[in-house]
Amino acid sequence: MSAPYNAAVLEPEATTPLIMALPKGRILKECGPLLARAGIVPAPDYADEDTRHMRFPTNDPNLDVIRVRPFDVATFVAFGAAQLGICGSDVLMEFDYPEVYAPLDLGIAKCRVCVAEPAATAGSDDPSRWSRVRVASKYPNIARRHYASRGVHADVVELNGAMELAPGLGLSRLIVDLVDTGSTLRANGLVVTETIANVSSRLIVNRTALKTQPEAIGALIARFRAALG
Ligand code: PRT
Ligand code: MG
């Protein structure tokens, strides 16, 4: 019986590649040209939405990419499972992980985190006079912080999609959600009443990894900075 392949024995010089977490979905598509300009070419099936693979080598033997849900990119990087990642600033605001450092605004996948309400009742009441409000959102922390800052307690009903249905069906008074063109809100009878933050995607890095591998990670940050310029 042949011995199992053991890279550590056969290739004592081999180092562990860095791992960059990339979000599947809309940001993945916008990432393509940026990765190319940074000189990072993932294995071809990385762009195949049907592949079962989640981890892909790149043209750089010291860098692999993993493809995860947009909300999970920050978590992989915060815990050091990936040393780098690309992530919406909405997700960074929601989790607020101290271990995540976001050195570069990549200027892609732009939108806004907004409060939206039914057009029929929007503006009929002064929110600073409320003591509590029921909010439907995928962003419970952003929503709670936003209302807490004006002394209002937000009871957040957490949803992962179709937030726009919540006010009309009596689930919540308003929603906190991402808005780009506003056409999804309009189609559901809602209007933006406040913008909480502008959103774009960021290059993120695990702070401990940056301290222990400053050269390799610093070189990758520099490649992305050059790709933006
Ligand atoms: O699939 P999974 O549930 O894991 O995630 P997801 O479906 O939320 O991921 P995906 O691929 O949509 O990517 C989400 C990330 O993309 C967010 O974290 C943002 O950083 C970024 N982004 C940029 C957006 C939008 N723009 C955006 N418009 N994410 C979502 N939207 C939604 C918005 O909520 C609305 O419902 O798109 C809809 C259309 O927007 P309008 O205003 O143009 O109609
Ligand atoms: Mg999705």
How do residues 151-163 score in pLDDT, each as one tens digit? 999 999 999 999 9
Cβ contact 21:84 at 8 Å: yes
Whether 3 is covered by a domain: the verdict is no
Does residue 146 lie in a domain region? yes
145 within a domain of the structure (yes/no): yes
First to last CA, the chain: 55
Find the domain containing 40 and state its range.
18-109+200-228
Domain check: are 96 and 147 in the same one?
Answer: no
pLDDT at 149 over 80: yes
Total domains, the chain: 2
Ligand lying nearest the CA atom of residue 162 = 1
Q: Check residue 2 and give its pLDDT.
A: 46
* pTM for this entry: 0.92
Give the CATH number, domain containing residue 183.
3.40.190.10
Do 159 and 223 fall into the same domain? no
69 lines ligand 1 (CB under 6 A): yes
Q: Do 138 and 74 lie in a common domain?
A: no
What whole-number distance in Å separates Cα of residue 24 and Cα of residue 27? Answer: 7
Q: Tell me, using a 6 A CB cutoff, whether residue 49 lines ligand 1.
A: no
Ligand 1 neighbour 27 (Cβ under 6 A): yes
Mutate to test the pocket of ligand 1, among 69, 178, 200 (most ligand atoms within 8 A of CB): 178
Look at 33-47, 65-79, 122-136 and tell me which has the smallest mean pLDDT.
122-136
